[in-house]
Amino acid sequence: MATLVNPNLITDLQKFGAADVNACFSCGNCTAICPLADNDATFPRRFIRLAQVGLTDDLVTSKELWTCYQCGMCTSRCPQEADPAEFMATARRYAIAKLDRTGIARAMYTSPVAAAVISLVGLVIFGGFFASVKATAEERLVFGVPYEWIHLVGLVVMILVVLIAVFNLAMMARATAKRDEVSAKSLFGSRKAWGNTLRAVWYSVGVESLGQKRYREDCEDDDPKEPLYRRRWLIHFLTVWGFLALFAATLIHYGSDIIGLQGAAVGVVALVARVVGTIGGIAMMYGVTWFMINRKQKVSAAAQHSAPSDWLFLWMLWITGLTGFIIEVSLYLPQDHPQPWAYVLFLVHVAIAMELVLFLPFTKFAHVMYRPVALFFYALAKQRSAELQSV
């Protein structure tokens, strides 16, 4: 059956970047040079073609988009100067926007004004939420709005956003599974299937998402190769682990609060949380700061084109980290109680952190959920072709 295509796909996609991609004439040099393209994931040429021809679903739900780490080898070899690496980045932005049915991601990507307004609204809601949590009876009005309301709105927004994220991810996973002929049976139908599935999970989450193996290897090809202290994979690695450490510190802190830890244990747990958080914060700040410098200086292919959403994401991480540190320092200041300014700062900190996490499906942060899933399918496909070859 012929697929009815969307003739306007590429013009729509170009609202997200990739200004030069029309020049592509499908020669395939980019695929030949791409260190990550192989039999199970041929790109970027084929994906440019999908965009040109208008096969929207194939493009936005593909696993290949997320396999690419934007080393830029393809762009440097393209005889047409079509900038395929930038296309891959744009296609990822487009996929995030397209997989999100609410239109929030699209608005944030395509309009800086909308991005600013939406982030501010989010900030106000989350800030209000946290303000209301700790509010005393006398302070139960924020800008004249009763705190119960704010609390409720905050909760509803959080739940909605989580649902949206789960839904988007499920859509992408389902489409990929269908195209790659992956089913519940092929995943869990036998002991062997279970084994393969677990191995694929380990590859995608362990080796790649936490270990960043291919990213590290991929960067060997960067030209110019940045010095190690600011190399893409390293600062990304530090950012990821720093973020995870901060997340863990937060969980430990609140977790002990929730289970009502008492006595000496409180002090120990608090110390652990603080040490983990501090190290994580330093790592993340280091990584994010270099990311921003790299983008500003356009040091590599990956840093050539920066969309407003890229900056927004980095700034939010950076502000979260910075405010966190200031708050931490303020705790050691010679006062018994935190100052009011520290309280406001704390509100900003938690609001942005919350927004960062909860806006995940609408921003560049979405790669955190799509990439592991894509890599999971990629690992499955690899296993399958290895099996076919050994037969």
Partner 1 sequence: MSENEATPVGKVAPEDRRIGVYICHCGGNISDYVDVEAVREALADEPGVVVSTTELFACSDGTQHDMIDAIKEKQLDGLVVASCSPKLHQVTFRNVAARAGMNPYTYSQVNVREQGSWAHQHDKAGATEKVIGLVRSSVAKTRLSDALEPLRFDTVPRALVVGAGIAGLRAAIGLAEIGLEAVVVEKAPEVGGWVGRHGETFPSNAAGRDQIASLNEQIKQRRDITVYTNAELTGKSGTFGNYSAEITLHRDGGDKTLTVDVGSIIVATGFDSYAPDDGEFGYGIEGVVTLPQFKELVDASEAGKLIYNGRPVRSVGYVYCVGSRQEAGGNEYCSKFCCTAAIHASVLVNKLDPSVRQFHLYRDVRAYGRNELLYNETRDAGSVFLKFADDAPPTVAKLPSGGLGLTITDLLTDSREVTIPVDLVVLVTGMVPRQNKSLVDLLKLPLGTDGFFNEIHPKLRPVETVVDGVMIAGCCQSPRTAGESVAAGLAAVAQSAALLKKGYAELEPLVARIDPEKCTGSGDCLTACPYDSITSIEWDGRQIASVDPATCKGCGGCIPVCGADAIDLLGYTDAQMRAAIEEMFEASVPVKEPVA
Q: In the chain, how long is the greatest CA-to-CA distance? A: 74
Which one of partner 1, ligand SF4, none is in contact with 50 (Cβ closer than 5 to 8 A by kind)? partner 1
Tokens 């040429």, residue located: 45
Q: In this structure, what are the phi and psi dihedrals at residue 38, rounded to the nearest 5 degrees?
A: -150, -170
| Cis peptide leading into residue 44 (ω within 30°) | yes
Q: Name residues contacting ligand SF4, limited to 36-55 (CB under 6 A).
A: 36-37, 43-45, 48
DSSP string, 228-262: GGG-HHHHHHHHHHHHHHHHHHHHHHHHHHHTT--
Cβ closest to ligand SF4, residue 151 vs residue 214? 214
Cβ closest to ligand SF4, residue 43 vs residue 291? 43
Render the burial of 85-123: b for 16+ CB within 10 Å, e for the rest: bbbbbbbbbbbbbbbbeeebbbbbbbeeebbeebbeebb
Task: Report the residue from 5, 15, 22, 27 that binds ligand SF4 according to the rule CB under 6 A.
Answer: 27
Assess 78 for contact with ligand SF4 (CB under 6 A). yes
Binding pattern to ligand SF4, positions 81-120, x when CB under 6 A? Answer: -x-xx--x--------------------------------
Choices 6-14, 65-73, 241-249, 350-358; region in contact with partner 1 by CB under 8 A: 6-14
> What is the separation, in whole angstroms, between the first and last Cα of the chain?
31
Task: Report the residue from 44, 54, 280, 321 that binds partner 1 according to the rule CB under 8 A.
Answer: 54
Question: What's the CA gap between 101 and 23, in Å, rounded?
Answer: 30
Question: What's the CA gap between 300 and 305, in Å, rounded?
Answer: 10
Question: What's the CA gap between 374 and 226, in Å, rounded?
Answer: 28
Question: Least distance to ligand SF4 from the beta carbon of 252, Å?
Answer: 37
Question: Least distance to ligand SF4 from the beta carbon of 291, Å?
Answer: 17
Cβ closest to partner 1, residue 83 vs residue 226? 83
Assess 24 for contact with ligand SF4 (CB under 6 A). yes
Task: Report the residue from 23, 156, 163, 251 that binds partner 1 according to the rule CB under 8 A.
Answer: 23
Question: What's the CA gap between 16 and 90, in Å, rounded?
Answer: 6
Task: Report the residue from 34, 50, 173, 284 that binds partner 1 according to the rule CB under 8 A.
Answer: 50
Total residues in contact with partner 1, by rule CB under 8 A: 20
Which SS3 state, helix, strand or coil, does residue 361 take? helix
Q: Is 26 left (phi over 0), alpha (psi -120 to 50) or beta?
A: left
Q: Name residues contacting partner 1, limited to 322-381 (CB under 8 A).
A: none
Chain residues binding partner 1 by CB under 8 A are 1-5, 7-8, 10-11, 22-23, 25-26, 46, 49-50, 52-55
Chain residues binding ligand SF4 by CB under 6 A are 24-30, 34, 36-37, 43-45, 48, 68-74, 78, 80, 82, 84-85, 88
